[in-house]
Structure 1
Amino acid sequence: MVLLSLMHFSAFSLCFLVLTITTIPHQAQASSHGSFGRKQVGGYPTVDVGICASSVIVYGYKCQELQVTTKDGYILSLQRIPEGSGVGRTSDTRKQPVILQHGVLVDGMTWLMNPPEQNLPLILADNGFDVWIANTRGTRYSRRHVSLDPSNPAYWNWSWDELVTYDLPAVFDYVFSQTGQKINYVGHSLGTLIALASFSEKKLVNQLKSAALLSPIAYLSHMKTALGVIAAKSFLGEITKLFGLAEFDLNGLPVEAFLKSTCARPEINCYDLLTALTGLSLYMICKNCCLNSSTVDRFLMNEPQSTSTKNMVHLSQIVRRGVLAKFNYVRPDYNIMHYGEIFPPIYNLSNIPHDLPLFISYGGQDALSDVPDVENLLDMLKFHDVDKISVQFVKDYAHADYVMGFNAKDIVYNFVLSFFNGQVKT
């Protein structure tokens, strides 16, 4: 059953994912490293170039590469785009800050796959916002720790619970300290899940102005992928091979070998998965309506990114149990040790402050943030103040369209801009 969900997530991430303890007491802090000066290689960024130099500065925008250290010692990459490129620049020195949080198995680069007039960070900057791009632990620019190395399994001993407890607060605290203003937030996929979980525990809300949730993830019981047949015919025992692997890296040989060995079984048809692993059938697996081939090429040059296997298992628990809860250690004594009770606590989304401004946009073709599960989320928010929640349904959109769609500016981003400016009610 765990393998079922992992295979769902693995395949979908190859289309575009979205959807991430050893704790070292450490206060959230940040340091500036300016902007990387290396040139792009072959038109695509290399790991030592940096997001600013490869995808922002080249278009005439200012950009800073920053680092934020979480309380449990992870050193996260953070990019700041303080203003537009020219026409969109304003003299207002108190621009509204916006944090953009990506999903799982990708990083902050996913927001920048399209040209400036089509990608959300630069559109926001051109419209007078102070833009901050977050990168979660384990992704290529956030693989440092105050004492642990990624080669150490202890580095990967975390799930999205730690993103709720440590990563988001570290980023929010730093942005708030630098701007002195309440923060607008945009999350996609896992970026919506960790935000909703945070809000339900009253975290971040005192620093938050409003939140736009694109392809929201809270429940996953009805998600649809091309690998249902694999899920139905896989055995729980096989997951032990993968669970022993601390880092979940779809580019790595252990994960690829594991998936291919599963597909080698004669009763399982893995055609879509195997072609996805070679990058040949992105469009066959996904139903995204609005991706240019150049955007897909750039995506395949940059993604996927690593996450922890524990994180993938935690995501699978949402699928299997149908509830949004903290990581389940399965053994009652382990759960008692971590939580003081036999079962892990639930994130009760009805506890989200009813007056918190929310914009939710979901697509009719989304296989992960599917319609029934989003409707379940909206039901949890049914007591939200009616003038504080805006909901948009885009019939033809799938998961990746929200961050890479060539027409996302007209379909979604203009609504996000209006929402942040207090002018939208869909």
Structure 2
Amino acid sequence: MGVPFIGRLSAGEWPTVLGSLFVAYFESIISLITESIPLPILQSITTILSHIHIYIFRIFISDSSNQIVDPEAQKIKERLTEATNAHELCKVHGLILEDHIVRTKDDYLLTLHRLPPKKVGSPVVYLHHGLLMCSDIWFVMNKRDQNLPYVLHEAGYDVWLGNNRGNKYSAKHLYLKPNSRKFWDFSMDEFAIYDIPDSINHILKHTSMKNLIYIGFSQGSAQAFASLSINSDLNNKVKLFIALAPAITPTGLHHKTVDTLIKTSPNFMYLLFGKRTLLPTASFWANTIYPPLFVKVIDASVQGLFDWRSANIDQDQKISSFKHLYSPTSVKCIVHWFQIIRNGKFQLFDENTSLTYSLSRSFQPANFPTRTNIKTPIRLIYGTIDSLVNIEEYLSLLPEYTTRAIPVENHEHLDIIWGKDVKRLVFPHIFNALKEAEDEDLDIKKVTNDEESI
């Protein structure tokens, strides 16, 4: 059977398709080469290149007559850029992380990170990353008081950070090997059915708390929407859900050719990247390309795909943040998003993607019942110029009386966590929501005590 979209391409669209194929297969060749190099040698090469980059960058800065450099700020940026994991990132600002391992019901082993609270019994906040990310994204801001976990920790919260199966910290299964196709046979369904509830259950059991506050960024919010909608008991365990740059049903990509291809055939991703992990050498390139050049590559990529200009993220911050932007996920997870974009529905993964099935539609994939089944109060904090957020559509999919949308003017997707003004424009909304949840708890306790006294 032929590929259905081939005959629909115009002459102007062919360069994009051929360029995508070239990138995908070039990437697979590089992946094979890097996998054949012994890990100690590969680590030595990337470490040497990283030091060379820092040296070159220092020369570049010293030669810039109009640039005033704060030595301490420069040192922090270098340490954040050189850090290889969440523990090293936290040490830059003087904090220590704990590791916790969660065994999911389908036998994946997930790593949770925790900033131990200042006192036992502190309220718990759980943060979850977005697509193609890991928990590192929460620790990369150059200024300590712009890192949300540190601010929450300082305010007296017990801060936990999750990681999806397959990413940098959760590439382990009791019976499956990461190089097997079966290991990567998961979509957002598995995040919602296993990863989120199993992680939350572990946290509550470990802390002996009855509930927690969930903060999700981008896909981290979508996973919570999905999980709360299909796990009714989870609504009693999550007392407040704060969705940063929420994702439910993105309208599509800014790049019209790519957008047309994925809407015509989500399986286009399988054609390009196979059925395991997406872009396995991305981390290698992040460690080997000169940091300012790598920033330009990411800037060009997100502008082409999403029309993001990243004007609210400083150049120095981009160098620190973009280095830790990528973490692996399955190609199937990306295909799941393309199905959602194509159908305009927040739905479970559609396993039947053949052309014959698409024409006959004997079965319809179920939608996540977000509007009817979610009982947890929701706060949506979103940028007004975020091309992925259609706030009116999102509100129509969520409970009317327990959902509140909070705009952040002239902010895009990544600005909500990495923008230069997050402390002033984003964090106050988060802490207002936390205070509302705390006040509600106090009201409930007062009513309970009054009833007991009667």
8 Å contact from structure 2 (residues 381, 408) kept in 1: yes
Q: How much does 1:158 deviate? A: 0.3
**Alpha-carbon shift at residue 283 of structure 1 (Å):** 7.7
1:187 aligned to 2:216?
yes
Mapped contact 2:270–2:331 kept (Cα < 8 A): no
Structure 1 residue 240 displacement after superposition: 4.6
What does residue 92 of structure 2 align with? 58
Deviation at 1:44, TM superposition (A): 4.0
Secondary structure in 2 matching 1:98: strand
Q: Secondary structure at the match of 2:381?
A: strand
Structure 2 counterpart of 1:248: 278
Q: Which has the higher helix share?
A: 2
The alpha carbon displacement at 1:280 in A equals 6.0
Q: 2:429 aligns with which of 412, 415, 420?
A: 415
Distance 1:284 1:103 in 2: 18
Instruction: Structure 1 unaligned segments of length 5 or more: list them.
Output: 12-39, 84-88, 254-273, 336-340
**Change in CA separation of 1:50 and 1:67 when aligned onto 2, cut-off 3 Å:** farther
With over 3 angstroms needed to count, the CA separation of the structure-2 counterparts of 1:161 and 1:203, relative to structure 1, is farther
Q: Which has the higher strand share?
A: 1
Amino acid at match of 2:364: F
Decide which of 345, 351, 357 is 1:323's aligned counterpart.
345
Q: Using CA pairs below 8 Å that are at least 6 residues apart, which structure has the higher relative contact order? A: 1
User: Alpha-carbon deviation of 1:276?
Assistant: 7.8
Change in Cα spacing, 1:164 to 1:306, as seen in structure 2 (3 Å) is same
State the TM-score, normalized to the length of structure 2: 0.69
| AA aligned opposite 1:199 | L
Deviation per CA, 1:345-393: give whole Å up to 9, x if none: 2112112344x2211111111122x2xx321121233532xxx433211
Distance 1:408 1:160, change over 3 A: same
In the TM superposition, what are the counterparts of 1:127-166 in structure 2 within 5 Å? 127-166=155-194
Change (3 A) 1:414 1:68: same
> What SS does the corresponding residue of 1:248 show, helix, strand or coil?
coil
Output aligned runs, 1:245-394, within 5 Å. Answer: 245-249=275-279, 251=281, 278-279=297-298, 281=300, 284-285=303-304, 286-330=308-352, 342-354=363-375, 356-368=376-388, 370=389, 373-381=390-398, 383-384=400-401, 388-394=402-408
Does residue 109 (structure 1) correspond to residue 109 (structure 2)? The answer is no
- The TM-score, its normalising length taken from structure 1, stands at 0.73
Answer yes or no: is the 8 Å Cα contact 2:299–2:310 preserved in 1: no
2: distance between equivalents of 1:139 and 1:99?
Answer: 18
Provide closer, same or farther for how the CA distance between residues 58 and 252 of structure 1 changes in structure 2, counting only shifts above 3 A.
Answer: closer
Equivalent residues of 2:269, 2:331 under 8 A apart: no
Separation of aligned partners in 1, 2:256 and 2:295 = 15
- Counterparts of 1:69 and 1:43 in 2: how far apart (Å)? 32
Give the 3 Å change call, closer, same or farther, for CA 284–346 of structure 1 in structure 2: closer
Deviation string 1:219-242 (CA, Å, 9 cap, x unpaired) is: 122x452x1234336874854523
Structure 1 pair 51/421, CA: closer, same or farther in 2 (3 Å)? Answer: same
Which position in structure 2 is the counterpart of 1:207? 237
Q: Which moved more, 1:108-117 or 1:299-308?
A: 299-308
- Taking only the aligned residue pairs, the percentage that are identical comes to 24
Task: Give runs of aligned pairs for residues 216-255 of structure 1, distance below 5 A.
Answer: 216-221=246-251, 223-225=252-254, 227-232=255-260, 236=265, 239-242=269-272, 244-249=274-279, 251=281
Structure 2: 5+ residue stretches without partners: 10-15, 21-49, 52-77, 284-292, 440-454
Q: Name the SS of the counterpart of 1:307 in structure 2.
A: coil
* Root-mean-square deviation over aligned CA pairs: 3.3
